[in-house]
Amino acid sequence: MHNSQLFSDSLPKHIAIIMDGNGRWAKAQGKPRVFGHKAGVKAVRKTITTAARLHIQAITLFAFSSENWRRPEEEVGLLMELFVTVLAREIKKLHKNNLRLRVIGDTSRFNDKLQQKIAEAEALTADNTGMVINIAANYGGRWDIAQAARQLASAVAANEITPEQIDEQALAPYLTMADLPDVDLLIRTSGECRISNFMLWQLAYAEMYFTSVCWPDFNEDSLIEAITWFIDRERRFGCTGEQIKALMNAEQ
Ligand code: IPE
Ligand code: IPE
Ligand code: MG
């Protein structure tokens, strides 16, 4: 087998990232928290570019949790504004690169303008065949399971399925991201080691990688380091960051 083929097979298919530490990163420089969120956008761009070059099938980024509404109103407002401007600014480029963008979560609580931008971005890129980028916004792992259960209950009420027939396979299709493989690599930045109600079902067998790097400092090398760790964890064979870089350059 060709060496790079061997490597492609051992890459994670679905990477999920809890992008944490924007606020602390800004505070360490004596800047307001929103400065960290803005810097975090650059890290998102780098991460997407690197993952796409490696032909990762899907990447899911935790941008706003269902619990983040508890933050000061001003910060929430600024984050919403940032979503709108970034979506508007980046979507054409994503489309040009054949990438598919989806927003996962209860978007009904977002303002009309943001909901409209999200719908436009999803529609524009819906038929693209490259990497799927899921932005988890107003997402919670428990919400995901609850909304799946609600749909399943409706199916029971419509006599399409009986309660006795409900098992894992019956629930799974109603979860968000049901068409994608389960997450095989979870990354959380900023040294925190918890899931914070991110994907619960889909993380059942994920390898979990925690790094002390704050999100705005996360770059191509950081992602390669995480992937190298993942491949070595899987014990397929020892691999180095250089080998992954070579693969990335070979497959452009
Ligand atoms: C992650 O950074 C970004 C969002 C949750 C939107 P934080 O804002 O949580 O930054 P810290 O954890 O307070 O440093
Ligand atoms: C999780 O980070 C949510 C996102 C990264 C969007 P938080 O910073 O909100 O999580 P906690 O509060 O530390 O658990
Ligand atoms: Mg945080």
Q: What is the mean pLDDT of residues 161-174?
A: 98
Top pLDDT among 127 and 8 is at: 127
Rounded distance from Cα 20 to ligand 3 centre (Å): 5
Using DSSP bridges, classify how beta strands 58-65 and 14-18 pair: parallel, antiparallel or unpaired.
Answer: parallel
CA-closest residue to ligand 2 atom 9: 68
Dihedral angle computed from the Cα positions of residues 185, 58, 139 and 191, in that order, rounded to the nearest 10 degrees: 30
Indicate left, alpha or beta for 155 from its phi (over 0: left) and psi (-120 to 50: alpha). alpha
Rounded distance from Cα 190 to ligand 3 centre (Å): 8
- Report CA-CA distances (Å) from 140 to 75, 146, 151, 209: 19, 10, 17, 20
15 annotated binding-site participant: no
Q: What one-character DSSP code corresponds to residue 63?
A: E
- Beta carbons of 27 and 197 less than 8 angstroms apart: no
Rounded distance from Cα 134 to ligand 2 centre (Å): 17
Top pLDDT among 147 and 252 is at: 147
Q: What is the C-alpha to C-alpha distance for residues 236 and 122, in angstroms, rounded to an integer?
A: 36
User: pTM score, two decimals?
Assistant: 0.94
Of the residues 190, 193, 194, 211, which should be mutated to test ligand 1's pocket, given the most ligand atoms within 8 Å of the CB? 190
Closest ligand relative to 18 C-alpha: 2
Q: What is the C-alpha to C-alpha distance for residues 186 and 209, in angstroms, rounded to an integer?
A: 6
236 annotated binding-site participant: no
**Residue reference for tokens 């990335």:** 248
Rounded distance from Cα 98 to ligand 3 centre (Å): 31
Q: What one-character DSSP code corresponds to residue 178?
A: T
Top pLDDT among 3 and 63 is at: 63
The proportion of the chain whose per-residue pLDDT surpasses 70, expressed as a percent, equals 95
Q: What is the mean pLDDT of residues 170-175?
A: 98
Q: How many residues does the chain have?
A: 252
Q: Which ligand 2 atom is nearest residue 136's CA?
A: 6
Using DSSP bridges, classify how beta strands 132-139 and 100-104 pair: parallel, antiparallel or unpaired.
Answer: parallel
Closest ligand relative to 214 C-alpha: 1
Q: What is the pLDDT of residue 1?
A: 46
CA 84, 90, 94, 95 torsion-angle sign = positive
Q: What is the mean pLDDT of residues 135-157?
A: 97
Q: What is the mean pLDDT of residues 189-201?
A: 98
Q: What is the C-alpha to C-alpha distance for residues 248 and 54, in angstroms, rounded to an integer?
A: 5
Q: Is 1 exposed, middle or buried (0-12, 13-18, 19+ CB in 10 A)?
A: exposed
207 annotated binding-site participant: yes
Q: Which residues are found with C-beta within 5 Å of the ion, ligand 3?
A: 20
Phi/psi of residue 54, nearest 5 degrees: -90, 0
Domain range for 68: 2-250
Q: What is the C-alpha to C-alpha distance for residues 176 and 211, in angstroms, rounded to an integer?
A: 27
Q: What is the C-alpha to C-alpha distance for residues 153 and 145, in angstroms, rounded to an integer?
A: 12
| CB neighbourhood size of 241 (10 A) | 13
Say how many Å lie between the first and final Cα of the chain, rounded: 20
Q: What is the CA radius of gyration of the chain?
A: 19
- pLDDT over threshold 50, residue 188: yes
CATH of the domain at 148: 3.40.1180.10
Please state the domain count of the chain: 1
**Residue reference for tokens 């269902």:** 66
Closest ligand relative to 137 C-alpha: 2
194 annotated binding-site participant: yes
Q: What is the mean pLDDT of residues 173-188?
A: 97
* Residues in Cβ contact with 134 at an 8 Å cutoff, skipping those fewer than 6 apart: 58, 59, 60, 61, 102, 103, 104, 176, 177, 180
pLDDT tens digits, 40-85? 999 999 999 999 999 999 999 999 999 999 999 999 999 999 999 9
